[in-house]
Amino acid sequence: MDDVAGLLGQAVRLHQQGRFDEAQAMYERVLASAPRQFDALHLLGVIERQRGRPARAVELIEDALRVDPHQARAHCNLGAALQDLGRADAALACYETSLRLDPAYALAWDNRGNTLRRLGRLQDALDSYERALGLSPALAQAWCHRAIVLHDLGRHADAAASAEQALAARPAYADAFVALGHALQALDRHAAAGDAYDRALALAPQAETWCARGAALKKSGDLAGALHSYERALALRPDYALAEHYRANTLRALGQRDAAVAAYRRALALGADANDIRFALAALGEGDQPDAAPADYVKSLFDQYAGRFDRHLVDVLGYRTPALLDALVRPHLAAAPVRSALDLGCGTGLCAPFLRPLARHVTGIDLSQRMLDKAAELGLYDDLACADIVDWLAPRGACCDLVVAADVLVYIGDLAPLFARVRHALRAGGLFALSCEALDDAGEGGYAIQPSNRFAHALEYVTRTAIDAGFRVVATAGATLRRDHGRDIAGHLVLLT
């Protein structure tokens, strides 16, 4: 009979050296002599997980725990294998068992945090990572995972600091460089984000990291570099739908229309979001024109844009629509503030300083929670709602005296549903002030999606749709709403009652 203890010792040493084939053979020799040897079952399961076979890992570790159910590390490793299989609730139960057996087991706290994050319980995940770091302050992976969840919570500066702590503990840590890049990109530090991704790629060239690098370069204006990054991502993973989608966006920004169309179609075939792709193709004149931009597209766009929205609009694009609408509305209001106003698609609150003196109660509605978080910092809104504006208005009767929609109709083609909802939300005599981009060639429909992914409207279409909804047109005016790529964007200002 083999010397079980001696074989087990050899197996563990081989395992620690990464010599999995030899270690596995030794563990199997142990089990041939002692079929219920806990360590051999448990560690053979660990090897199976390390080799990408989590289902077999679960079987072996469960066999080990039938021999000795009081081993915290085995419960933790079982949780990791279950997590690999997508069984998050079962994995969480394993980590909880592990921590009941050993509350000072930092790795189990860290793994528990990973599962909570995947379950969407972000604050609980953060608490779990901090418990891990309280026990093991140099645990680099817990600092890295903490950075990821802080980024998910919108705490980007804290996320960057946590990623840097991970790198202080483990300087050659690719995942921590990626986490740092994501945080820096969210802070609009795109050059620094690109450097972080480069450091990660030098350690581990992953398709996802190339894709993230492409996004950072595109936001910094380096379209050629972004295109190269997306193509590197696709070279590593040819079926990477998101990278193909972003490559298409970049080709379009470079003015390579035909190549962009082909890339969008390939992204669609790979499984990219069908609504977004069809919307982009429609903007390039390919396919049927939609009635509105997809809600998920708008939400995602402004979630990403929230941190730099005001600065980019005002300083770069010369955006002044709120002031223009304020000048249009004021002559038609009494001296005293109205009871309530609605700011549709309020974003970060650029209309709020104008609305606040005009109404005793101001409500902002927007699809993007991150934009609303910025709006809340102003302290100028009485209520903020994260919702589709047409859906939010649907159940409400006459509830306000003034409605403003600044730079919102660019994401809506068919205005009839919105106008009907606003008409029923306004009290008698209430005012609705809006802006829209001007459509040069109205065609039959009165609105059209532009290559910018924004809708433009003919003034005649806007006023006719308003009258059909029960409004009277009080005033209209032409205006330059903003600048885009060095040219003025013409628009219409309309006041209805």
462 occurs within a structural domain: yes
Segments forming the whole domain that contains residue 376: 300-496
Phi and psi at 458, nearest 5°, equal: -80, 140
Structure-token pair, residue 75: 């419960």
- Domain CATH code at residue 488: 3.40.50.150
177 occurs within a structural domain: no
pLDDT of residue 306 exceeding 60, the answer is: no
pLDDT in tens, 99-120: 999 999 999 999 999 999 999 9
Burial class for 20, CB neighbours closer than 10 Å (0-12, 13-18, 19+): middle
Average pLDDT, the chain: 91
pLDDT score recorded for residue 372: 92
pLDDT score recorded for residue 371: 87
pLDDT score recorded for residue 82: 96
pLDDT in tens, 8-44: 888 889 999 989 999 899 888 888 888 999 999 999 9
pLDDT score recorded for residue 301: 73
pLDDT score recorded for residue 209: 98
Counting the structural domains of the chain, the total is 1
In this predicted structure, which of 51-55, 222-226, 284-288 has the lowest mean pLDDT? 284-288
Q: Work out the end-to-end distance of the chain between its first and last CA atoms, rounded to an integer number of angstroms.
A: 95
Question: How would residue 315 be classed by pLDDT, with cut points 50, 70 and 90?
Answer: very low
pLDDT of residue 196 exceeding 60, the answer is: yes
421 occurs within a structural domain: yes
Closest CA to 247 of 293, 213, 278, 295: 213
pLDDT in tens, 351-396: 999 999 999 999 999 998 888 998 999 999 999 999 999 999 988 8
Write the DSSP symbol of residue 75: H
pLDDT score recorded for residue 107: 96
pLDDT of residue 63 exceeding 90, the answer is: yes
pLDDT of residue 311 exceeding 90, the answer is: no
pLDDT score recorded for residue 304: 67
How many Cβ atoms sit within 10 Å of the Cβ of residue 268?
Answer: 20
pLDDT score recorded for residue 83: 94
Structure-token pair, residue 294: 């997809």
Query: Which contacts qualify for 17-23: CB closer than 8 Å, 24 or more apart?
Result: 20/47, 20/50, 20/51, 23/47
**Across 266-282, average pLDDT:** 92
pLDDT score recorded for residue 349: 92
Contact 445, 289 (CB under 8 A): yes
> At a CB cut-off of 8 Å and minimum separation 6, what does 216 contact?
181, 185, 190, 193, 194, 197
pLDDT of residue 140 exceeding 60, the answer is: yes
pLDDT in tens, 208-222: 999 999 999 998 889
Taking only Cα atoms into account, the Rg of the chain, rounded to an integer number of angstroms, comes to 29
Locate all alpha helices (DSSP H) within 17-102, ordered by sequence: 20-33, 38-50, 54-67, 72-84, 88-101
Structure-token pair, residue 146: 């903490």
Query: What angle separates helix 174-186 from helix 207-219, to the nearest 10 degrees?
Result: 30
pLDDT score recorded for residue 307: 54
pLDDT score recorded for residue 175: 97
pLDDT score recorded for residue 418: 95
346 occurs within a structural domain: yes
Question: How would residue 316 be classed by pLDDT, with cut points 50, 70 and 90?
Answer: very low
pLDDT in tens, 238-272: 999 999 999 999 999 898 999 999 999 999 999 99
Query: What angle separates helix 459-468 from helix 416-425, to the nearest 10 degrees?
Result: 50
Can you tell me the distance from the alpha carbon of 34 to that of 244, in angstroms, rounded to the nearest whole number? 53
pLDDT in tens, 70-94: 999 999 999 999 999 999 999 999 9
Integer angstrom CA distances of residue 471 from 24, 411, 432, 437, 466: 78, 22, 9, 20, 5
134 occurs within a structural domain: no
85 occurs within a structural domain: no
pLDDT score recorded for residue 1: 45
The type of residue at 41 is: L
The type of residue at 446 is: G
pLDDT of residue 50 exceeding 60, the answer is: yes
In this predicted structure, which of 123-137, 146-160, 186-200, 437-451 has the lowest mean pLDDT? 437-451
Range 109-134 burial, b when 16+ CB lie within 10 A, else e: bbbbbbbbbeeebbebbbbbbebbbe
155 occurs within a structural domain: no
Integer angstrom CA distances of residue 66 from 11, 34, 75: 22, 15, 11
pLDDT score recorded for residue 486: 66
Query: Which contacts qualify for 246-254: CB closer than 8 Å, 24 or more apart?
Result: 246/211, 246/214, 246/215, 246/218, 247/214, 248/280, 249/218, 249/280, 250/214, 250/218, 250/223, 250/226, 251/227, 252/280, 252/284, 252/451, 253/218, 253/223, 254/223, 254/224, 254/227
179 occurs within a structural domain: no
Question: How would residue 441 be classed by pLDDT, with cut points 50, 70 and 90?
Answer: low
pLDDT of residue 236 exceeding 90, the answer is: yes
